[in-house]
Amino acid sequence: MIPDELREIFEEFIVEANEHLESLEAKLLELEKDPENQDLINAAFRSMHTLKGGAGFLGLTAIVETAHKAEDLLGKIKEGKLKFSHEISEALLKTVDFIKEAIRFYEDGESVEAPKDLINHLLKLQNEQPIEETENGDITLDNLLDKYGLSNLKGKPIEDILEELVLLPPNKRPQEIVDFIDKMISSPQPAPADLVQKLEEETAQQMLQIVEEEIVERSLKEEPQEEEDIKPKQKEETAKPAEPQKKDVKREEEERVLRIDVQKIENLMNLVGELVLDRNRLIRTVNEMVQNTAPNKYTEEIESIASSIDKIVGDLQLAVMKTRMQPVKRLFQKFSRVVRDLSKVVGKEVELIIQGEDTEMDKSILEKLEEPLVHLVRNSLDHGLETPEERKVLGKPPVGKLILRAYYQGDRVYLEVEDDGRGIDPAKVAQKALEKGLVTKEQLEKMTEKDILRLVFIPGFSTKEQVSEISGRGVGMDAVMNTVLNFRGTIDIWSEKGKGTKISMAFPLTVGIIRSLLVSVSGRRFAIPIFLVTEIIPAETAEVKSLSGKNVLILRNHALPLINIYEMLHIPPSNTGYIIVCLIGNQRIAFTVEDLFGDEEIVVKPLGKIFGDLHGISGATITGDGKIVLILDIVELLKNRNFRV
């Protein structure tokens, strides 16, 4: 259990530890390809050293014990005494996995035991004797001294051992030995007891100082300078007077970075949202005043001020929005390990290519995309890419390619998963959809090849009995689609038999402030997120027909479902002025509205507890003319209906 006085430091440790673990895992995977790269070895050693130091201060013994042996192993590789190998990589990756799991247990207030098998394996890899237990299963003091590389203290009196421990730097002082000796002192013995107390007091003071320094020095995401013990570093700085100056510059740069609680960012976003609403009202009022008043110096001045405020608010909105943005690198780099492990299971050789890892996305969206991407990557490896033997027969390189790609296009962020595997056979997809009763023969006849491929996103399409060519391609696809739609995104699929498959997801840059199309339905005004809208057609020029008992819009020889929005909203019908075509997920649909009022940047406000969740309404906003407008959630309105034609 973490003491209350250390809770804040523990929370900081978790953030730092997760960053180091992600970096460490990435470095180990890179070392598998480039085992002689000294920079990677040094970086991995530093991360493990930092993890051990932070865990030691907080008394997370299981992490300290495991990280200590892993650090020793990396130290020998760093010194050239051992060569990095696949077996060493496996052991170190298992260490990373254990530390991740241990942190979760410590977070929940549960106790954690060090993995003795893993520790012994790490010792064996560095040609050291494994930790042995006595016949009754108890650890002896000599075992612990061997475990922490203090064999020279074996056989010495307890007082001498404690004296030696006091002289060690705090981050090299094994707390487990101190605790063990403390328990050995069953009756009051002044000298050892005093030494134990002195050791504990000095440890607490020095470790607190070290942690405070390390928190500052690792506040940036860049790798810190190589950490060494305090005394050697001081000697080195004395010999090289230029070093302290570099360190001061580094410290100065790092002190510019400040960690901020996410809730504070949310509050700031809400305030900026209110400012955007008032900005809209101001601009509208000033425009009306200018139109209805003869030009004079006052109207010109007010118009100039309003224009300046418009620009400043826009810049402020963009700046605050960027505080919520994070690079997709943190999401993508997790898949190096996923691809490595899964490719071994399925017996395939895969090259993972990551493109656009510096592309930034809203944090709230990014956090929810790991599971959908895991579905897509697993499907590509398991069912998309062929085995090396199959690829050779097909004239392809034995190593398959899997691409994770991110990029901006307009006000959207695109994430893509692409492979050069066997692709999807539309004929088999159509046959399976027909067998499952998801479409009729009449509907299939009117579908393009791309429309047929999109059937894999329908819930219930995928089953365990699917033929091998498309087996798994639908597994989790409806879950992926739902995640995308929940963030007002779109998803599409391209595939060519024998060439490969690409799945593309697009998301808005931010989730709080959006540009919307304002429309009226039976005299009531609604807002529709404008990124969903692909076309607006005047009703008098639209071609509407009935097909299979349903109204459809004929657009460039394609039949699109024409939705009765009045029925969905349970309001009386009115005259139709326009037909709006929207792209929902991966399907185009159309619906009628009475009139249009242009587009406007709006702030999405929740309806609150009084109204609860209204079906088809995602929130409300206040427009520039001061009116309250409900925001239509077209995705939710259509979610439980089948409008395929």
Active-site pick, 16, 20, 49, 594: 49
Contact 125, 87 (CB under 8 A): yes
| Amino acid identity at 436 | K
User: Length of the chain, please?
Assistant: 645
Active-site pick, 143, 171, 379, 586: 379
Full strand arrangement of the beta sheet holding 578-584: 533-538, 578-584, 587-593, 558-563, 550-555, 543-547
* Calculated CA dihedral for residues 401, 404, 407, 409, nearest 10 degrees: 80
Active-site pick, 65, 71, 176, 601: 71
Report the alpha-carbon distance of residue 339 to residue 433 in Å, rounded.
30
| Amino acid identity at 314 | G
Structure tokens at 559: 């039949």
- Who contacts 617 (Cβ-Cβ below 8 Å, separation ≥6)? 607, 630, 631, 632, 633
HSE-up of residue 327 (Cα within 13 Å, Cβ side): 10
To the query of whether residue 71 is one of the catalytic residues in this protein, the response is yes
| Backbone torsion region of residue 392, taken as left when φ is above 0, otherwise alpha when ψ lies between -120 and 50, otherwise beta | alpha
For the chain, the C-alpha Rg in angstroms (whole number) is 32
| Amino acid identity at 127 | N
Report the alpha-carbon distance of residue 246 to residue 548 in Å, rounded.
75
Report the alpha-carbon distance of residue 644 to residue 47 in Å, rounded.
53
Query: Looking up tokens 């487990």, which residue turns up?
Result: 176
- Give the number of other CB atoms < 10 A from CB of residue 122: 26
Report the alpha-carbon distance of residue 314 to residue 614 in Å, rounded.
31
End-to-end CA distance of the chain: 59
- Who contacts 113 (Cβ-Cβ below 8 Å, separation ≥6)? 62
Contact 186, 147 (CB under 8 A): no
- Who contacts 252 (Cβ-Cβ below 8 Å, separation ≥6)? none
DSSP category for residue 129? P
* Per-residue CA distances from 327 to 20, 49, 187, 620 (Å): 16, 26, 58, 30
To the query of whether residue 379 is one of the catalytic residues in this protein, the response is yes
To the query of whether residue 68 is one of the catalytic residues in this protein, the response is no
DSSP category for residue 171? G
User: What is the H or E stretch that residue 536 is in?
Assistant: strand 533-538
Angle between helices 297-323 and 262-292 (to 10 degrees): 160
Residues identified as active-site: 49, 71, 379
